[in-house]
Structures are given as structure tokens and as C-alpha cells.
Structure 1
Amino acid sequence: MIRRSSCVPFPVDAAPTIKSEAPRTRSLRASAVVAALLLVSVHVRAASKFTDPEDGAFDLSNLLLTHRGVLPVPTLITEPAVGYGLGLGLLYFSLPKKSADAPDDAKAPPNITGLGGFVTGTHSWGAGLMHFHSWDDDHIRYLGVIGKVGLHLNYYGIQNQPRAYQLNGIALVQQVLFRLGNSHWYVGPRYTFFDASTRFDASVPAGIREFERDQRVAKGGVVVDYDTRDNMFYPSSGTYAEFEADLARGGLGSSTNFQEQTARGYHWIPLSKSWVLGLRADTGFSQGNIPFFAQPYVSLRGVSDAKFQDNNQLTAEAEIRWNVTPRWSVLGFGGVGKAYGHLHSFSDAPTAFGFGTGFRYLIARKLGVTMGIDVAHGPGQNAFYVQVGSAWR
């Protein structure tokens, strides 16, 4: 599915989330992940490249930065929309070069190259390549993504009943942001292209306007970012906000004409040394002849992607984190959202909700990278998610 301006397995701010949903076995799998982390942290402690000299704990910072290693992110996929399957992401990190006149305490996000793919039992599959890079002491940020998907999904429509369809296509995202002076503001262009082919197993559901089997979504827009996070992967303080306005036109390669505006903001408040409160707001609005699969939708842990989808969407979520130790943290979260505008008015639209708990382990201190699992409950289902860093993108 297309989320905002991203059409591939990697998120725009380059911190990947690999999502899956499990039935009765989710607690066993979660326990296995915890046990694996504990065993590795004990048995590999003796190897210097796997330990942090600061606390002697299991840490991949030296491996990822000094020894040019990659961080594997495997997962089990049991998302109802695409079925059971396996996924794997490989992340390569490097630190950007600092100019001679840069302040000693200046911190730029690491450069990241990611390669990932997945396959499921319903013959859904996807593969993608992404690269995030910064230059000039983080005054220029580049993001490039290319991917291909073949998905078996459901469209819920007016009656909120699943109708199976197939979505195949190639996606491309190109973005360059420029910092305004030495402020926390970034501005720049983004171009998104998705050459898609869709096919419903039965008749086209009511509510879909001007259905075309083959469509190209090509949109260009302006992105404005505000970033004061202390870490891009798992922040403990600061704010990240992004505003985007897009136009899809034939001159850009689009089959249809539409407009889209999105705004999202995340704010982390350190309540004490051990407690952090996170707040999230997410909005999406569209006008014109936007393809049904490209419409804004509610994204919450515990809610199937694109189940709540329409011309517009509003979402709010909160998260409380307890840092049990400098390495381990546990968290609780909950949120609500609505999609409305064409299929439903705001007052008639069903309310999406999701809540749950999770944990993280600081697996690369120098990068601020954590790994862990979130377990969530939503409308009629439970879910678990293998997370790299924060769930908020």
C-alpha cells in the first residue's frame, strides 16, 4: 500500500519497521526473541567487537561502524492482508564526515543503506533498496528508495467488508532536503512514482470511482521538516514534524490528477531520568481523482494497514516508556483514528483503535539503535511487530 509518499518497504525517515501479526504463538515468539538477546549478550560478551567498553554489555556499534558490518532484521509475517511469510532486512551504517569547522558536539545522523524483502504464503512479495545520506554537517539530507511489490490485499469499502484484489508495481522515491541556516528546519522537493496494476478477484466494489486496472501515481511536492530529536531511531526528547504538499499531474507521469497534503508530528517529553512520554498526531487529506489504493489511511499498531481508508484521515497516539536500565526499556501505547470524506462522513466513519505494550534493547549505543517487539490489540485482532527503534516514522 502507499503510505503518504512512500510506496516501498522502507519508511521515509529511514528507520525501518518490520510488521507482523500472530495468533496464539505470538507470546512464544516474543519470548524466543528475549531469550536470544539474553543468550547472545552473555556468550558474545568476550568478543571485543561485540561489546561496549563503556558498560561491557552486548553491543553492535563497533561491528556496524568500525568493522563494516550489517544489521540483519528478520521477521515472521502473519499480516491478515497478505498471509503468513518471512521477511529480512539488512542495514549498513556509516558515519558522515565532519567538516573541520564543525562544533565538537555536532551530531549528524548516520548514513544508512538498506536492502530488504519478504514473501508470504498467499504469493505476496516485495523487495526494496534504500539509501539515506547527509552532507555538510547535516545541512543536506538525501533519501532514495526503489522497490517492487506483488501484493494480495483487501479493500474494505462502504460496507467495511473485505474484497480481495491484487496490487503489483514498481515504486521510486527521491527526496533532497536543505537545512535553513543552522536552524532545525529543512525544506526541499520530493518526487514519488508508482507504476501500478490492480485487479479485483470479483466485481469492482461500490465506492471506487473511475477504476482503471493500470495506473501511474506520479507526484511532486514540497517537504518541510522540523527536527530536534536527540536521536533519529529511538528519541528520548525533542520533536519531529513533517509537512508535505503534493500535486499529481500528467506532466509528472501520473495517469490521474489529484492533490494531497499530509502533516505528522511526534514529541517526546522526558518526565524523569527513567520515564519518557511520547505524543503523536498524524493527518492526511486528498482532493481530486486519487486512486483507491493511494488514499490516506489510519496507521496504528494493532490495526491492519489500509483497513480504515478514505479521502482523509486523522490519527492520535500516546506512548509511555520506562527505561528499566540504560539498555532495556518497556513501553505501553494506545491510539485512535478515523478515515472519512468519501465513503463516510466524519461522524459516521468507524473509529480505529489500537493499544498494547512492548520492549526495546539498546543494541548499538553509538548509533542509538534499539531492537525489540511490540504486542498490540485492535479491532478484532491481536498483533506483534518486530521493531528497529521507535514505531513512529
Structure 2
Amino acid sequence: MHRPTRPGVAIAWPRALCCALAVVSSTAAAAEGYASRFIDPQDGQFDTSDMLLHHKGVLPVPDIITEPAIGYGLGLGLLYFTAPKKSASETNEHAEPEPDSDAPKKMSPPNITGVGAFATGTHSWGVGLLHFHTWDDDRIRYLGVLGKVNLHLNYYGPQGNANAYQLSGIALVQQLLFRVGNSPWYVGPRYTYFDSTTRFGPVIPEGINHFERDVRIGKGGIVVDYDTRDNMFYPRNGTYAEFEADFARGGFGSDSAFQMQSAKGYRWFDLAPKWVLGLRADTGFSQGDIPFFAQPYVDLRGVSQAKFQDRNQLTGEVELRYYVTPRWSVLGFGGAGKAYGGIHSFSDAPTAFGFGTGFRYLVARKLGVTMGIDIAHGPGQNAFYIQVGSAWR
């Protein structure tokens, strides 16, 4: 016997089923739409360009710190990118590779805001804020940095013995560069300030003259940049060079008077569709009553920061990169340097060296941002670095 169904129930069940299917469908579509933000339609690979440029996302940069100077620890940075207004639709959106080449076209630098912090097992820690901005189609470049650090380091005197000390303080950097005509040259001022406190044990190590516990450094200087890189993060071709002359004086807020000059140059050669060669030269010179911790030092992967430090420094490095795919690349590197002029003459100064290998993944194609890892070996030690782009800054 057929039992009649109540009209309300007969109508409610199909409606409920349709609603449920609609919710599931819309949820799946939303999830698919969200996931699509991380897929590059050009090659179907994981990519964060769309999320970073159009959905106000941030790029997290975790760091496992193995820097010999401050010990083992963890760090985290958050980078927020925006495209310059004038080039957002002209350059970054259309920075597609050439049909027969893996190399991207020249990209305008994005605006970057970053915050970060780290801490290590030696009770060293630091926090910082960074902003990089361009205007007028990359004719004006601004860089600002504000940070606070508390570092437990070693000072290496004439005998190379490690003397533990603590360096803490607040640092500020302000820089504004202007392009010269339509050339790749930029010129402008830079101001650096560091209000520091330094603590040693009961004995001041040999090699340090006029030690002061509390020191303020205020430097004003001129910066000249030359930039033909096809990408500021991980170039395949082009040159980046920077020349800087700084003067620390009382008028800039400095407790001591000294001068510093530095020059660095990086050159990348696109040797073949899959091979890139990079060359680096880095020099620094100082004169006057400069605090010991502010002197130039050799900066190499695998070498403890500031272990090789003196009045002057000279460093060279080479890097060879191979593209396994357009997104994945592996690299090998090696370099050497010397710090000299105060504690040692150039011929007597010990040679610092570092070499290793690493890899990168193109995590944001439209920005040219890569992330990866470098593993390096130096004098009696190994180090591990999480890198955003090139290790050369």
C-alpha cells in the first residue's frame, strides 16, 4: 500500500540536498581557487607570484642559524612585496621568458617591507625592520633599516686567540639614491647610526686601543651604484657595483672620528642556456680612530663573521650555477680573503677561505625570487645557510 508523503518533507529533502551539494561545490571551488594562487599557469609549478603581488601575501623566510660567530639558533623573516605603480602592469606582469631561452627579461625591483627576528644558543638575538622602495620607474631608490641586536661574539687578536665579548645596541640606516639620466648609475647619500655597548671580561685583549664601553657611531657618506642586473635577487646576467665613502664625525652623532671606503663588484655571465658564472670582488679600507668591531672584515660563506678583521680587507669569490630545470638550479662556490693593515701586514695576514655547494628554487617567477640552501666549509668549521636569492648582497 502506497503511503502518501507529506508535502513539506517531499520538498525539504531535495532542497537540503541541493544546498549541501552547493556548499560542497562552492567550498571545493574556493579551495581550488585558493590553491590556484600558488600554481603558475605558464608551467604548472608551485609559485607564489600571484599571492605576493595581488593577494597581499607575505613570504616567510625561516632560518636555521649555524653562523659560527654567534652559534646555533633559529630565525624568521617575513617579506611583503608590492610592484612599483608605473611598472606593475608593464614589467612584472609581462616578465615572461623568451620563447627559446630560460632567462627572464630585465625586471624592475619590487618594493619590499620586511620584519625579522633571530635567537641562538649563545643568547645572541636580534630584531629588525627593513623597507626598500622605488619611484618614477626605478629612478629613485630608498633603503631604510632599523634594528636592535644583542650579540655574543669573539674578538681575534694578533695571536688569533678568541676573546669573548658582548655587543649590543640599536642601529639605523637611511639611504636615498638617484639615477643619473638614463644610465645604470645611481648616486646619493647614506647615513648610518649605531648606539652600542661592548663588554669584555676583566682584561681588554691585545690589539684594541682606546677601548670604550659605550660608543656611538654616526656616519654620513656618499654611495655610487652601477646596476645592469637582469634581476636584483638572482641574476643570470649583468653587473652590480657599489662604491661608498663614509665619514664618522661628531656632527653626525659619532663619538670618534674616522673614515671608511668600500668597493664591491659582482658580475654574472650567462655562459650557456643552463650555465651561469658569477665573479665577486670586495674591498674595505679604514683610517682614524675606528672602534675595533666596526673595522672591515672578510665575509665568506663558511667563515665566521668578523673572525678575519683588521683595518682593511680584500675578498674574492667565484660561483658556478647549473639550471637543472627553469626553476631548479644547483651551484658550487669558493673564495678567499685577507684582513690586514693594523694587526698584520698583507703578507703576514692569515688567509680566510670558504667553499661549498647549494641549490635554489624559483619560488616567485614574476619577481625573480628564489629560495634555497647553501652548505659551506671554512677554516675548521662548517656552516648551513637558508638563502633568498643570491648570497651576494
What's the TM-score, normalizing by structure 2? 0.87
Aligned counterparts of 2:308 and 2:32: Cα–Cα separation in 1: 45
Aligned counterparts of 1:273 and 1:126: Cα–Cα separation in 2: 41
State the AA in 2 paired with 1:151.
L
Aligned counterparts of 2:63 and 2:116: Cα–Cα separation in 1: 11
Aligned counterparts of 1:99 and 1:149: Cα–Cα separation in 2: 36
State the AA in 2 paired with 1:75.
D
Where does residue 211 of structure 1 map in the other structure?
211
State the AA in 1 paired with 2:82.
S
State the AA in 2 paired with 1:296.
P
Q: The residue matched to 2:336 in structure 1 has which SS?
A: strand
Aligned counterparts of 2:128 and 2:107: Cα–Cα separation in 1: 28
Where does residue 376 of structure 1 map in the other structure?
376
Aligned counterparts of 1:373 and 1:341: Cα–Cα separation in 2: 34
Which residues in structure 2 correspond to 1:315-334 (within 5 Å)?
A: 315-334=315-334
Cα deviation 1:196-222 (Å, max 9, x = unaligned): 000102311111110000001110000
State the AA in 1 paired with 2:40.
D
Question: Does structure 1 residue 152 correspond to structure 2 residue 140?
Answer: no
State the 1:107 CA deviation. 4.1
| Cα distance change on mapping 1:349 and 1:266 into 2, 3 Å | same
CA contact 2:64–2:75 (8 Å) conserved in 1: yes
Aligned counterparts of 2:35 and 2:377: Cα–Cα separation in 1: 40
| Cα distance change on mapping 1:182 and 1:212 into 2, 3 Å | same
State the 1:119 CA deviation. 1.0
Which residues in structure 2 correspond to 1:1-393 (within 5 Å)?
A: 47-98=35-86, 107-393=107-393
Aligned counterparts of 1:99 and 1:238: Cα–Cα separation in 2: 20
Q: The residue matched to 2:37 in structure 1 has which SS?
A: helix
Aligned counterparts of 1:306 and 1:319: Cα–Cα separation in 2: 22
CA contact 1:45–1:51 (8 Å) conserved in 2: no
Aligned counterparts of 2:369 and 2:240: Cα–Cα separation in 1: 17
Aligned counterparts of 1:46 and 1:209: Cα–Cα separation in 2: 60
State the AA in 2 paired with 1:298.
V
Aligned counterparts of 1:45 and 1:153: Cα–Cα separation in 2: 49
State the 1:76 CA deviation. 1.6
Aligned counterparts of 1:45 and 1:65: Cα–Cα separation in 2: 16
With a CA cutoff of 8 Å and minimum separation of 6, indicate the structure with the bigger relative contact order: 1
State the 1:120 CA deviation. 1.4
Where does residue 15 of structure 2 map in the other structure?
none
| Cα distance change on mapping 1:381 and 1:365 into 2, 3 Å | same
Q: The residue matched to 2:251 in structure 1 has which SS?
A: helix
State the AA in 2 paired with 1:344.
H
State the AA in 2 paired with 1:214.
D
Aligned counterparts of 1:370 and 1:99: Cα–Cα separation in 2: 21
Identity %: 75
Aligned counterparts of 2:170 and 2:56: Cα–Cα separation in 1: 30
CA contact 2:279–2:317 (8 Å) conserved in 1: yes
Cα deviation 1:131-163 (Å, max 9, x = unaligned): 000000000000000000011110011111110
| Cα distance change on mapping 1:113 and 1:99 into 2, 3 Å | closer
State the 1:81 CA deviation. 2.3
State the AA in 2 paired with 1:368.
G
State the AA in 2 paired with 1:370.
T
State the AA in 2 paired with 1:53.
P
* Length, aligned pairs only: 350
State the AA in 1 paired with 2:72.
Y
CA contact 1:331–1:357 (8 Å) conserved in 2: yes
Which structure has the greater CA radius of gyration? Answer: 2
| Cα distance change on mapping 1:265 and 1:99 into 2, 3 Å | closer
State the 1:75 CA deviation. 1.4
State the AA in 2 paired with 1:62.
D
| Cα distance change on mapping 1:213 and 1:156 into 2, 3 Å | same
CA contact 1:108–1:134 (8 Å) conserved in 2: no
CA contact 2:297–2:307 (8 Å) conserved in 1: yes
Aligned counterparts of 1:160 and 1:55: Cα–Cα separation in 2: 53
Unmatched runs of 5 consecutive residues or more in structure 1: 1-42
